[in-house]
Amino acid sequence: MAARVWWAALLLGGCVGLSLESGVNRLPVPLSQARTWGYQLTGYGRDRLSRVTASPFDVVVVDTMDDDGQPWPAPEVARAARAHVLLGYLSVGAAEEYRPYWQPGWRHGIPAWLLNEQPDWPGNYDVAYWDADWQALTLRELDRVIDQGFTGAYLDLIDAYEQHPDRPAARAEMVGWVCRLAAHARARRAGFLIVPQNAAELIRDPLYAPCVDALGSEETYVYAMNRPTEAARRDALLADYALWKAAGKPVFTVDYADQPDLIGRTYAQARAQGLIPYVTVREADRLTPGQ
Tell me, yes or no, whether 228 lies in a domain.
Answer: yes
Q: What average pLDDT does the segment 176-200 reach?
A: 98
286 within some domain: no
Q: Tell me how many domains the chain contains.
A: 1
CATH number, domain containing residue 163? 3.20.20.70
Least confident interval from 34-48, 59-73, 144-158, 198-212: 34-48
Q: Can the peptide bond before residue 111 be classed as cis, meaning omega within 30 degrees of 0?
A: yes
**pLDDT tens digits for range 223-254:** 999 999 999 999 999 999 999 999 999 999 99
Residue 259 pLDDT greater than 60, yes or no:
yes
Burial of 180 (0-12, 13-18, 19+ CB in 10 A): middle
- Give the whole-number percent of the chain exceeding pLDDT 90: 83
For the chain, what percent of residues have pLDDT higher than 70? 90
Report pTM: 0.91
Residue 58: pLDDT band with limits 50, 70, 90: very high
Cα dist. 106→22, 103, 119, 124, 160 in Å?
Answer: 44, 6, 17, 12, 20
Q: In this structure, is residue 108 part of a structural domain?
A: no
For residue 25, the model assigns a pLDDT of 59
Task: Report yes or no on 107 lying in a domain.
Answer: no
Closest CA to 193 of 67, 87, 57, 81: 87
Q: Are 69 and 135 in contact (CB under 8 A)?
A: no
The Cα–Cα gap between 237 and 88 comes to 25
pLDDT at 7 over 70: no
Residue 285, in any domain of the structure: no
pLDDT recorded at residue 14: 35
pLDDT for 5 beyond 90:
no
User: Collapsing DSSP states into helix, strand and coil, what is residue 43?
Assistant: coil
Residue 34 lies in a domain: yes
Q: Going by DSSP bridges, is the β-strand pair 94-96/124-127 parallel, antiparallel, or unpaired?
A: antiparallel
Is residue 247 within 8 A of residue 202, CB to CB? The reply is no
| Residue 62 domain boundaries | 4-100+128-280
**Is 150 contained in some domain?**
yes
Say which amino acid occupies 162: E
Q: Which residue has the higher pLDDT, 75 or 289?
A: 75
Q: Do 158 and 92 form a contact (C-beta atoms < 8 A)? A: yes
Indicate whether 121 belongs to any domain.
Answer: no
Q: What confidence category does residue 121 fall into, taking pLDDT thresholds of 50, 70 and 90?
A: confident
Q: Across residues 190-217, what is the average pLDDT?
A: 98
The answer to whether 24 touches 54, Cβ cutoff 8 Å, is yes
Look at residue 194 and tell me whether its pLDDT is greater than 50: yes
Mean pLDDT, rounded, of the chain: 91
